[in-house]
Amino acid sequence: MGFQIKDNAIEFVRAGEAVRISACGKDCIRFQSAPSGKIREQDWNLSFQKAEAKAWVEEHQAVLETGSMRVELYDNGKTVYYREGKKLLEEQSELAFDALFRHYRNHGSDLWSARVTFEPNEDEHFYGLGHEATNCFDLKGCTKDLRHLNARCAIPYVYSSLGYGFLWNQPSTGRCELAYNRTRWTSDSTRQVDYVVIGGGPRQVAATLADLTGHAPKMPEWATGFWQCKLRYETQEELLNVASRYQELGIHLSVIVIDYFHWTEQGDYRFDPKYWPDPKAMTEELHKMGIKLMVSMWPTINEHSENYRHMLENNMLIRTASGSNRLFEFYGPQAEIDPTNPETRAYVWKRLKENYIDNGVDCLWFDEAEPEVHPQHFDNMILSLGNADEVGLLYPYYYSQLVYDGMKEIGREDILTLARCAYLGSQKFGTLVWSGDIPSTFESLLAQIKSGLNMAMCGIPWWTTDIGGFYGGDIHTEYFQELIVRWFQYGVFCPVMRLHGNRGGQDQTRDIIEPTGDDNEIWSFGDRDFPILRDLIFLRERLRPYVNHHMDIASETGVPVMRPVFFDYPDDPVCYGLGEEYLFGDDILFAPIARLGQTKHSVYLPAGEWVFTRDGSTYQGGAWYEMTAEIDEFIAFVRKGAEVLSAFTQK
């Protein structure tokens, strides 16, 4: 038992535990502890860096300092973290007499459940943890399961209003409790506790997080316009007719999307020639119109696929500890590919390239990226990387890497993959995350606004939603026709503006296995809505230079284009409660309307002078204002003197 200082890091051994505390970046401290008594080098997908630090031993404790950060480790195992002399985190004992810091329970071999508990701070606010439609902006008081599901992307990272980021470096399933009586992080299956505390304000922490997890590449310029999508275009002819009508109306499409079941069989990764007879000619025609094509793929595969036997026999599929390897029932029992295996990534990319990319498809949509399995028994899933309850959160990370590596290999730089899930670091593979299959309701829209801001705090700047929601929308109702306008207004001020959804009725007149929904183009929602939606697309076009500029900033610095107001105003306590307005780049503040029948919105303007985009009037910051917006109006302000104001005044 005792402390040692090695390479300016603290090492501590006591009965049943080994601990190591080190500096791993600017104002950045890493804590590792292992009940086995042996610290493993499990960096996972993070890029830790050497940092200047000094460490020493005092009576009953060891101390490490790096930059503005300080950690004290006591001989009873307790840790306390400080920044510039201010206490940030203090471990909480689970027994009387400070007798238990960190809890472990063995699951056999060297796998353990583990948890770390910290004292609560009633003045602390938390943001991050990926996206989930909880309608919570400030996550203080929330508990979240750390597991990926449809419409729930678990990113084990939070930013605290006290001025630090906390990264739980565990790709296992688990739990995060940001409760009023404690803050606790739990791993279901791990070999050691591993977390990072990053000191600083929002911008500094975002930069350090990007250095640790990877910087997003530059978003392709073609991606920042309007995307047209629906569930689903059934034929090549139908798709081209929609693209042509947009062109005839003088409305530019950046991307048009072909959704699932365009294929011959789940796991074949090819167009069904009956309905898509000449993909290359189709893409050439789209490209002449200045439109990029995205095509959906799923990780599901069944025994009827031409690829199934080869992938099964070469361990390219997720295996199970017991029972069949069929993990999802969707038009028959489906297995799932295992992208944590580099051989799987190489094989699947080869098929995607020859059947899609070589035919002119520009980018891919990776649906079901969690992956979707029923039931969610992660402890029964075996990946090449390990058991899924230990490493399963990494699945979408390697899924996106599959395309990124393949595109790089053929010399492509304009890489973007739409994915239904992500993990820390997914952004470096050009991953555009969307919030999953969400309902077409105003309640859902309100929740998405807050989800997007929490996702922005996690180091993943490319994020979007299905404009209008995915399911339950009837395009013929007044309710939906109001909803689609308000969601469209929100979409203008999202990193990517993408219309998608399964609308209303189902057309089952054709011999296609999966039916399609009602129309979902901007002329589909009634005579009142069409000119409103058209003009919003025109506004987005005028904003594209501004959006592209801030996407470049996101790539270089880690600062997301869509972000909470406190990101730029961390010293204003009011801003930590603003979940229904946000900054879009440096100069735009947007306050979306997200309630049925709503035409008024109380808006807080932070310090400075702000110009209301509708009439050019100037408002002083540091105050609340009651603003109005009829159905064809929205509420946005521009920082006084900013050039982007001209995008709103042009017609």
Active-site annotation, residues: 367, 370, 437
Residues forming a β-bridge with 480: none
Enter the DSSP assignment of 575: G
> Which structure tokens are listed for 601?
């919105």
Phi, psi of 483 (to 5 degrees): -60, -45
Q: Are 143 and 462 in contact (CB under 8 A)?
A: no
Q: How many CB atoms lie within 10 A of CB 278?
A: 13
Strand intervals (E) in 367-506: 381-383, 386-387, 417-419, 431-434, 463-464, 471-473, 497-499, 502-503
> What is the longest distance spanned by two Cα atoms in the chain?
80
Phi, psi of 485 (to 5 degrees): -65, -50
3-state secondary structure of 116: strand
Q: Is 527 exposed, middle or buried (0-12, 13-18, 19+ CB in 10 A)?
A: exposed
3-state secondary structure of 166: strand
Tell me how far apart the alpha carbons of residues 335 and 263 are, in angstroms, rounded to a whole number.
Answer: 17
Helix, strand, coil % in the chain, rounded to nearest 5: 25, 30, 45
Enter the DSSP assignment of 219: P
Query: How many Cα atoms occupy the beta-carbon half-sphere of 278 within 13 Å?
Result: 7
Q: Are 202 and 570 in contact (CB under 8 A)?
A: yes
